[in-house]
Chains A and B, each alone.
Chain A
């Protein structure tokens, strides 16, 4: 597709379960970012990938959060032992290269923890 694709669009799960969120960036974009948006709030940076490596993981809120990127393309964000405070919209963005470039966002995964 032409834009950033994220799946699933919605995810409801019970507290304590693990979830995996997927991001398919724009073809050819080497930089990939994950953000989290809580209800009515701005976006909070989680992690940045350049190719398959993650030079900046500073935004991950706890060790329950991890992410990987394979083949310089698709990325997955995994949350283990989910907590209610993990409920949010998880947004992925990509840009042609890292640095001062517009980031283009997908429509996010709305995660609800019961």
Chain B
């Protein structure tokens, strides 16, 4: 079955240190992959998306992600965490060959320590 696995439910980093949020997806011919951020009581904000163009995708607020087909991964990174990055992050995949099935990961809560 088509799935999205976010390997960490919680990640804690110190301000100014790198962030790595991991996401793996089910093998797919042509997935569309997204990272969304959700601050408390707020809506989903798109950070970045991969839709079969460059494998290294740059998003907003200094985030980027690399699509690795051989590893079926789409990990989100940021070189230096800021306090305002504290939020919940969702990896989302659309499986085009399965009727555009949209699957959410379970989410990763990022905590940034001062």
Pair from one complex: no
B residues with a Cβ closer than 8 A to A are: none
A residues with a Cβ closer than 8 A to B are: none
